Chain A
Amino acid sequence: MSNLRDQSGPYFGEYGGRFVPESLIAALDELEQTYEDAKKDPAFIQQLAELNRDYVGRPSIITEVPKFAKLVGDVRIFLKREDLNHTGSHKINNVIGQALLAKRMGKTRIIAETGAGQHGVASATAAALFGLECVVYMGEVDTQRQALNVARMQLLGAKVIPVTTGSKTLKDAINEALRDWVTNVENTHYLLGTVAGPHPFPTMVRDFHSIIGKEAREQMIELIGSLPTVAAACVGGGSNAIGLFHAFLDDDVALWGFEAAGEGIETGKHAATLSEGRIGVLHGAKSYMLQDEDGQTVESHSISAGLDYPGVGPEHAWLKDLNRAEYFGVTDAEAMQALRDLAQTEGIIAAIETAHALAGVIKHGGKLPSGSSILINLSGRGDKDMETVGKYFGFLGGNNE
């Protein structure tokens, strides 16, 4: 089982590919070529490294959380603090890389989809930094539950377009972004925010996020003299998870991905694509997805806008089939409890997306041998979620707990 790390698309086993209209093929070819060239260009590599250091704030630190670990058992728990990156989540890693590629291709306009708003905010930030026009598509439902992030994007100079078709969430925002791209492909780069979509996106986005695992791997060796027993992350489209997992793919480290089980798998109101989905084609790639018997995409449900997506990146589908990574569901209620637990034991407020990984570790970490170490990707901070959190716990009235 060596060299899983070298897999670079267009296919991961039977997954991936380019199931898109012919209108986009030239743009995908151009992007792939530009990326391949840039990867070998010392000037590009240096520029990206400098931006990561001086703008994003990398390397992100590792924080050990012993009081939170007591909730799990006799284990040590370490958080990779992507929440401390500029703009508040891991999303910026990919955005800076792709914005540089957009400039390299001579594109003057970037478009992006966003669910929780984190990727939209990161895209609007990069657009401001690099002087690009920026349009963000966001499901109407999400613009309401993430109103603060909409304001942030607008302040940064981006135009936010609420999407009113279909289920009015992330999947429909991606459809609208794809339609925009088909129309404006000449001057526009589609800055896709996760490891889904047609090749080269799953590979390229993974590569830009793989810095998370690369740093964490070295940091763990320095901190505890060995690799962690488990690396864990939440999974929506799967970008922060693959960013953490990739460096450990060929190591003896268990990989746990936690999907949104929403109101509970049995209710049908969830976004647990890998646990409950079937193989299909969505947004340009073959992977697992939530669908009915006719292949119509089924609406997903999660309290977390960033995990509310009925598809998942093809590399995760491949890792699941290989049994290299394990994927479990975590409910809204479990995630919210874990969010409060981390806040009150360690003084760290995680994003609701990220809280799914925290809850998953509380649920499954107890089965590990005494003295095990767990590395969790703390992919984002919870500031954006305070309205949802405040209402949920009754701090803002309307206790939904």
Chain B
Amino acid sequence: MSKTADAIRAARANGESALIGYFPAGYPDVKASIDACVAICEAGVDVLELGVPYSDPVMDGLVIQEATELALANGFKLRELFGVIKEITSKVSTPVLVMSYWNPILQFGVEKFAMGLKESGAAGLITPDLIPDEAKDWLRLSEEFDLDRVFLATPSSSPERLEQAANSSRGFVYAVSTMGITGAREDLDKAARKVVSGVNESETGTPVCVGIGISTGEQVAEVNSYADGAIVGSALIKAYQQGGLDELVNCVRNLKAGSSK
């Protein structure tokens, strides 16, 4: 069973928009990042996406880049990640999915990392720069440790690759809404709908959540009309930067309610 998929399905069964919120570990420092993550969970996200700061984050836009750069500058070390997860999971029951580029995991040791995720209570891992084709070790170890694994599906993915993403993922499939960070709203929806329907054709039953470029409650509600959930990252960091925990909590509530501020 997948903790992540269960949480998404439970939200949908309650007639709510499923919301996945991203925040980087160690930003602005370890203690503050734990407080922010707990606040995000208590404010109502269904799944927490906990980012691992990395020196070369090619999938991230400027807001997340600057935040994770600051976390590293403030001394964040990978071994602290598991303590952060433990603190969060001891306070809230929200599933915690770690989002990490591949090299830090490779250096830590894939098996040791999987074990660390399990022991600290994480639900699994999102791998933005690891495609299933290169993920032999992780596919095996995630089964062994009963962890969710989330791969990406994009507007440029072939039908075969969308099917592969669906078959390889556990928890949900991360549908990339647009090829860019910005882009006209209509294009965003059209591209995202195509990815979601492509993944759903595989009939694996794995939920599909849409991310990248989503920042308002309206967009969350709209995404939830055709997908299983919406993923929000930069908007949460911006809210935190503007008004600390209070603004962060407001932002999550507005997104979750599916209404614009």
Docked-complex contact B180 and A184, CB < 8 angstroms: yes
Q: Considering the chains assembled together, what is the distance between the CA atoms of A120 and B65 in angstroms?
A: 25
Complex: A291 Cα to B56 Cα, angstroms? 11
A20-B131, A281-B102 in contact; A294/B77 too (CB < 8 A)? yes
Residue of B nearest to A165 (CB): B65
Q: Are A291 and B107 touching (Cβ within 8 A)?
A: yes
Using Cβ atoms and an 8 Å threshold, which residues of chain B touch A29?
158
B176 in the interface, Cβ–Cβ < 8 Å? yes
B82 part of interface (Cβ distance < 8 Å): no
Whole-angstrom CA separation of A369 from B180 in the bound complex: 58
What residue of chain A has the Cβ atom nearest to residue B78's Cβ?
A: A294
User: B69 an interface residue at 8 Å Cβ cutoff?
Assistant: yes
How many Å from the CB of A189 to the closest CB on chain B?
14
Closest to B62 in A: A165
Binds A, one of B40-48, B117-125, B146-154, B203-211: B146-154
Nearest A residue to B153 via CB reads A22
Q: Residue B97 at the A interface, CB < 8 A?
A: no
Task: Given A183-B180, A186-B179, A296-B72, decide whether A22 and B161 contact each other with a Cβ distance below 8 A.
Answer: yes
B129 is contacted by which of A21, A293, A295 (Cβ under 8 Å)? A21
- Whether A178 sits at the interface, judged by CB under 8 Å, is yes
Q: Within the complex, which residue of B59, B103, B180 is in contact with A282, where a contact is CB–CB below 8 Å?
A: B103
Contact indicator A280/B107 (Cβ below 8 Å): yes
Specify which chain B residues have a CB less than 8 angstroms from the CB of A178 in the assembled complex.
58
Give, as a whole number of angstroms, the nearest-CB distance from A271 to chain B: 16
Q: How large is the interface on B (under 10, 10 to 19, 20 to 34, 35 or more residues)?
A: 35 or more
Residue pair B77, A23 in contact (C-beta under 8 Å): no
Which residues of A sit under 8 angstroms from B176, Cβ to Cβ? 22-23
Binary interface profile of B, 157-168, with partner A (CB < 8 Å = 1, else 0)? 110010001000
Provided the pairs A20-B129, A166-B69, A282-B56 are in contact, do residues A296 and B161 lie with their beta carbons within 8 angstroms?
no
Q: Which of A182, A295, A297 has the most CB of B within 10 A?
A: A295
Query: Is B56 a contact of A21 with CB atoms below 8 Å?
Result: no
Interface residues of A in 152-195 (CB under 8 A from B): 165-166, 171, 175, 178-179, 182-186
Chain B proximity of A185: nearest CB distance (Å): 6
A214 at the interface (CB under 8 A from B): no
Q: Which residue of the partner chain A has the closest CB to B104?
A: A295
Interface set, chain A 282-327, CB cutoff 8 A to B: 282-284, 291, 293-297
Given contacts A19-B131, A281-B102, A295-B104, 7 further A-B contacts (CB under 8 A): A23-B59, A26-B154, A183-B179, A183-B181, A283-B56, A296-B104, A297-B55
Residues of A within 8 A of B (CB): 17-23, 25-27, 29, 165-166, 171, 175, 178-179, 182-186, 278, 280-284, 291, 293-297
Q: What are 28 inter-chain pairs, A to B, with CB distance below 8 A?
A: A17-B134, A18-B131, A19-B102, A19-B129, A19-B134, A20-B129, A21-B152, A21-B154, A22-B165, A25-B131, A165-B62, A165-B65, A165-B69, A166-B56, A175-B57, A178-B58, A183-B180, A186-B179, A280-B103, A282-B103, A294-B77, A294-B104, A295-B107, A295-B108, A296-B72, A297-B55, A297-B56, A297-B103
